[in-house]
Structure 1
């Protein structure tokens, strides 16, 4: 039985270190679209060597850039990967089999995270992400930094279709990302009118650490798991600390629950 034609969609900026692995992992795709925002390394040459169609557009926003790439794809079924992600062989086989007779408008895939010098333990809890979907039923949401696809219709999780994220090879890279991401979320949280900011600063970081380290079983990853959970808690703190600072800088009380600190 023939399967639905598939477009692999990847947005890039100086991703020469990881792009070949990403494209190789989904070489079965009928169309490969790479939307580049001005790479100065070998990213475009690598994409060309893998038979990708390369489009260019200056980066303005995570969601807008990915939606632009989705619109440029030749086929309605989209596999959306970041340049530092790659399918496992099992995931590639499952996706091809599923597209012979799709049972949903979108599919969530489990993602194993790189934790510095190791990879997330298979028995720790792995987050799932909507990465395979029919664009006729949806597209990117408008959440800054952590923009993700959303579809109207049934969504299934392909538990065995694990893909890998090679995004945090060392602690310095993770810290840099956490600082950039937390700054990028300030305007969004202000627009949403996030309340009880001081309370969130106090309570969310330790709760987040416990959730990651104990309930998601990051302790199985040894010191890498501990550092990942601790830095994640720091990220939660930074998001609300920066929001508090932004409100105070613009003459507010820092926290719209009342009072000034």
Structure 2
């Protein structure tokens, strides 16, 4: 049974070659859904034999499902551009009889990296992700943030996707194109959610305690502390921005809420 590979991209010229070559080890076609790259992402993808679809970014789940209109095969393997298959994962995928399997989808662990460092704490591992699925039976949830693939019948493998999350600690706080707190605040504001003067501090503190204590970030040394702090700052800013939208009409008028993405 053949597999279609699916990648969503925006200015991923530094990653797209390795991602496509990784998928080619198990996939029989590659679909790249690009949301307006200004670099050489599209040119590189096409030179490597991928089919490129142009689509303004719709949000995570919506964007990842765009390829399903174009894929030739029932089984789809979805990777982000900064993710790679490990040898163990490749062996596991090749071992599946997709023609007769009783499963709708397959899940793999994900090794999230900062630089060359594998982060094992703070909830960053095993970080199971369902990425190989029969699109005739399931697909990504059509939500704008942190989408996943639901499955009635799921098998989890003990092999890993490698995720090159951040090049360094600095990117953890200021990766280009990341504005999760701003987007989240806009979504909450559009839904009518409210914050008060204590919300930023309380949510920030809760995020830190969850990452550093309950998810054992303290075992990760400086990286564990740094990740817990970045999570706290992101949560703090999300509620601070929501509160600002509520309190300052001039700020609200500067922002577009109908097209957050």
- Which runs of structure 1 show a deviation greater than 4 angstroms over 4 or more consecutive aligned residues? 195-200
1:187 has 2:186 as partner = yes
> What is residue 235 of structure 1 aligned with on the other side?
234
Which of the numbers 158, 161, 165 marks the counterpart of 1:167?
165
Aligned length: 246
> What is residue 2 of structure 2 aligned with on the other side?
5
1:126 has 2:126 as partner = yes
Return 5+ residue gaps in structure 1 as ranges: 252-261
| Paired residues of 2:103 and 2:154 also in contact (CA < 8 A) | yes
1:38 has 2:41 as partner = no
1:124–1:176 distance in 2 versus 1, CA, 3 Å: closer
> What is residue 136 of structure 2 aligned with on the other side?
136
| Paired residues of 1:77 and 1:134 also in contact (CA < 8 A) | yes
Q: Distance in 1 between matches of 2:164 and 2:124?
A: 17
The 5 Å alignment of 1:5-154 reads 5-27=2-24, 28-100=26-98, 101-116=100-115, 118-121=117-120, 125-144=125-144, 146-154=145-153
TM-score (norm 2): 0.81
Q: Distance in 2 between matches of 1:197 and 1:204?
A: 11
Q: Distance in 2 between matches of 1:194 and 1:48?
A: 44
| Paired residues of 1:138 and 1:149 also in contact (CA < 8 A) | no
TM-score (norm 1): 0.81
> What is residue 257 of structure 2 aligned with on the other side?
none
Q: Distance in 1 between matches of 2:227 and 2:206?
A: 14
SS at match of 1:81: strand
Return 5+ residue gaps in structure 2 as ranges: 251-261
> What is residue 155 of structure 2 aligned with on the other side?
156
